[in-house]
Amino acid sequence: MRLIKLVIYSALLLVLFVGFYSLTAQATLKYKKETGKRCSFCHTGIPRDGDEDKKLNADGELFKKNGYRLTEEQKRKPD
């Protein structure tokens, strides 16, 4: 009985982990698709979960400050 519970709990944890990981990846791809910009347009490095510094450059800070929307000037900039 304990073995069955362990297998079920392990499977649930795996499903949750994969689900949360997928949400993070989709959000990143969503911004790329919506903005048409590469990650490096806003980031100086790859942000990791738990990072206090999300490694944003000046364009990334402006994008964040503008409600996660590109300004007209940013839209004209090459990425």
DSSP secondary structure string, 21-55?
HHHHHHHHHHHHHHH---GGGTBSS---TT-SS--
Q: Model-level pTM?
A: 0.56
Alpha carbon 68 to its chain centroid, in Å, reads 12
pLDDT tens, residue by residue, 51-76: 766 788 999 899 989 998 999 999 99
Tell whether the model's pLDDT for residue 35 goes beyond 70: yes
Tell whether the model's pLDDT for residue 31 goes beyond 70: yes
> pLDDT at position 47, please?
67
Burial of 42 (0-12, 13-18, 19+ CB in 10 A): buried
